[in-house]
Structure 1
């Protein structure tokens, strides 16, 4: 299999094939092939830059990769912040701690130690459930 420029398709193409316009475009097949190869070469070089930025500390990489408005957006928060928000939401919604721990991928003891402050303020609900259980 040859390179994209001299591969089997290019080698078999006649001058008429290359000069013919591609369906749905204004470009000839040769121009289209040139742009595909040129685009491929650009992407290869950009991948090096992307991998370099990916190795930088998160705040530096985000500052280089995002606009200032995007950096300030809550959606640009690190993924673990979003995970923390999800676990907090589940706990405050009344999902049982063992179920939340299993879904979050850590033990109940760790989850309760880390997220204990999220469960705060549910004393009235807990007291009502205890009273209902004792009454039945």
Structure 2
């Protein structure tokens, strides 16, 4: 299996921690109790062999990968702007530095707590067994 999850998470988390003092970055969406804000989750949501480049004995040469990023803010004023700034920083890493394509970005109503603003984005790419990332 071709796996770049650690590299992607580290690149995103490192940049976010540089730009946003005190930001919490997690590798999954299971974090229910948020100790402080802003919070970001970065999770690989799909990792599928790219069939066109598989060998005759069904070994992977490439995968199609998808990442889901959630940004949360609870600021009294400016939480939407903070989430957008976080997503711009995530874009700079995933699109500009690593070569992903953003598949979507949406604002999501947080039904559990209306005081928390949330944005979700998904990014996709094709990755070789040598961990070279190609825009898909």
Structures share fold, TM-score greater than 0.5: no
Asked which structure has the greater CA Rg, the reply is: 1
Higher strand proportion, which one? 2
- Tell me which interval the TM-score lies in, with the shorter structure as reference length: under 0.3
